[in-house]
Amino acid sequence: MSTQHQPEVSPVGLEVEVEVGAVAHGGHCVARHEGRVLFVRHALPGERVVARVTEGAPRDSYWRADAVQVLSPSPDRVTPPCPWAGPGRCGGCDWQHATVSAQRALKAAVLTEQLERLAGLDAAALVPVVGEGGLVVEAVDGDGVDVEAGLRWRTRVQYAVGPGGRLGLREHRSHRVVEIDDCRIAAPRAAEVDPQAVTWPGAEGVEVVAPQTGDDRLLVVTPRRTGEGRRLRLPTPPAPSSLAVVGEEGLARVRGRTWVAQEVQLPRGPRSFRVTGSGFWQVHPGAAAALAGAVVASAGLEPGEHVADLYSGAGLLTAALADEVGADGTVVSVEGDARAVADARRNLRDLPQVRVLPGRVDRALAAMAADGERVDVVVLDPPRVGARRAVLERVVALAPRTVVHVACDPAALARDVAVLAELGYRLDGLRAFDLFPQTHHVEAVARLVRTG
């Protein structure tokens, strides 16, 4: 006699009452239900909540969930300033339900935990690096930005286009577009582009690039590549705005120009940078100056020294480093993105001590080692995944006295610190900056020095 196999019931939609534990990397906190880990968004440590499962299968070791009811709130809890923040809504902001000071403490806890767990640095080892009081995530000033409120700071906003052609933002871990009336973290000039004012038929996304200073504003449109409604029809954007479309051969100008000017106060004076389209640039108006200052301080350069600036983008850090080493020093700027390389060459053309190398970082480092180039300091600002072992081994082959690592992901930084420790470099300094208020993201600048 056979028995019919009964399909397992999905837990998605199940609601359970849980005590919320520590914060975890990724914008959620850890809870447990019947021995299983729950990663709960929209909760805070110490709260008791009703959590609704959003992802998971019966046999998974963990499920994802949203806190849909708060039974015992944390003293750090506040009402989110944006009506689109919360379960099932826009997924852009992770921490709008916490005070800004609490957000920074959560980010510090995550970065510390990742260094302890992935880099093997215990609390005692971190004290000489971050101080007796522990790591502090620093606020960053920005013209016209209310730092304490954590709003109106984002100078670049990447909108998705919904089924009706209007702009919106995606739900967390979903392709669903949530149409909004206003992004509360958008900087004032970016917020002037009303997401509901016009429709964008045939577009997949629209990025609004609005530097804090000057009159520049650029809208970069990505056409829909597949499915129905692929014929792109462009509305008239608010003035003054340039308009460009991403094509197979690069950025096509529709109106105005395809780049914006970014003005930055570097440690030795102001400088202007040209950035094409939606090319990489920090989105917080105070970020570029803060990071340039932190990197220069960490590098501790002397006139005449030699630097490699890896993943150098449009040349922000290269310019600041070139000021430090002077005419008798050198800075090799390495970048793989062709558009960023073109911007860097234009931005740095008045600095004869700079050499811009296009191409992969590992290959550039191998060529430098083969040529016997002297490198006193290496600065690297890798993508979110980190530099990884293959690149770090080539960095160490150049025997720099100092490595300065700029990281936007705590786990990736911790993994890179662990590799560098194996290769003879110890963590000697660490600063963290709140460049993304209301989100779980945090930027760090780490200094590592040769132990041998």
Average pLDDT over residues 131-143: 88
Structure tokens at 205: 């996304």
- As to burial, measured by CB atoms within 10 angstroms (0-12 exposed, 13-18 middle, 19+ buried), residue 159 is buried
The answer to whether 62 is annotated as binding is no
Host H or E run for residue 19? strand 15-24
Q: How far is CA 71 from the centre of its chain?
A: 33
Q: What is the pLDDT of residues 186-226, one digit of tens each?
A: 999 999 999 999 999 999 999 999 998 777 899 999 999 87
Tell me the percentage of the chain whose pLDDT exceeds 70: 96
pLDDT tier for residue 125 given thresholds of 50, 70 and 90:
confident
Q: What is the pLDDT of residues 259-295, one digit of tens each?
A: 999 999 999 999 999 999 988 899 999 999 999 999 9
pLDDT tier for residue 12 given thresholds of 50, 70 and 90:
very high
What's 100-153 look like in SS3? HHHHHHHHHHHHHHHHHHHCCCCHHHHHHHHCCCCCCEECCCCCCCECCCCECC
SS3 category, 221: strand
The answer to whether 159 is annotated as binding is no
Taking domain 1-77, whether its CATH number is 3.40.47.10 is answered by: no
Give pLDDT, residue 145. Answer: 62
Residue 229 has pLDDT above 70, yes or no: no
What is the model's pTM? Answer: 0.95
Q: What is the pLDDT of residues 68-111, one digit of tens each?
A: 999 999 999 999 999 999 999 999 999 999 999 999 999 999 99
- CATH level 2 (architecture), domain 261-271+282-450: 3-Layer(aba) Sandwich (3.40)
pLDDT tier for residue 141 given thresholds of 50, 70 and 90:
confident
Instruction: Give the whole-angstrom CA distance, residue 313 versus residue 343.
Output: 8
Q: What is the pLDDT of residues 18-55, one digit of tens each?
A: 999 999 999 999 999 999 999 999 999 999 999 999 99
Average pLDDT over residues 322-335: 98
How is the chain split among helix, strand and coil, in percent rounded to 5? 20, 35, 45
Are 436 and 92 in contact by the 8 Å Cβ rule? The answer is no
Give pLDDT, residue 146. Answer: 66
Tell me the percentage of the chain whose pLDDT exceeds 90: 88
The answer to whether 353 is annotated as binding is no
Using alpha carbons only, how large is the chain's radius of gyration in Å? 23
131, 99, 141: which is closest to 431 by C-alpha? 131
Q: How far apart are the first and last CA of the chain?
A: 73
Residue 230 has pLDDT above 70, yes or no: no
Task: Please tell me the least confidently modeled range out of 140-149, 184-193, 222-231, 375-384.
Answer: 140-149
In DSSP notation, 152-171 reads S-BSEEEEEE-TTS-EEEEB
Show which residues are catalytic.
408
pLDDT tier for residue 327 given thresholds of 50, 70 and 90:
very high
Q: What is the pLDDT of residues 423-442, one digit of tens each?
A: 999 999 999 999 999 999 99
Average pLDDT over residues 335-360: 97
Instruction: Give the whole-angstrom CA distance, residue 407 versus residue 432.
Output: 9
The answer to whether 282 is annotated as binding is yes
Tokens 């009706």 sit at which residue? 164
Tell me the average pLDDT of the chain. 94
8, 6, 65: which is closest to 36 by C-alpha? 65
Are 279 and 337 in contact by the 8 Å Cβ rule? The answer is yes
Give pLDDT, residue 109. Answer: 97
pLDDT tier for residue 231 given thresholds of 50, 70 and 90:
confident
Structure tokens at 139: 């606020």
Give pLDDT, residue 305. Answer: 98
Pick left, alpha or beta for residue 27 (phi over 0 → left; psi -120 to 50 → alpha; otherwise beta). Answer: left
pLDDT tier for residue 143 given thresholds of 50, 70 and 90:
low
183, 8, 12, 13: which is closest to 81 by C-alpha? 183
Q: Domain spans of the chain?
A: 1-77, 156-258, 261-271+282-450
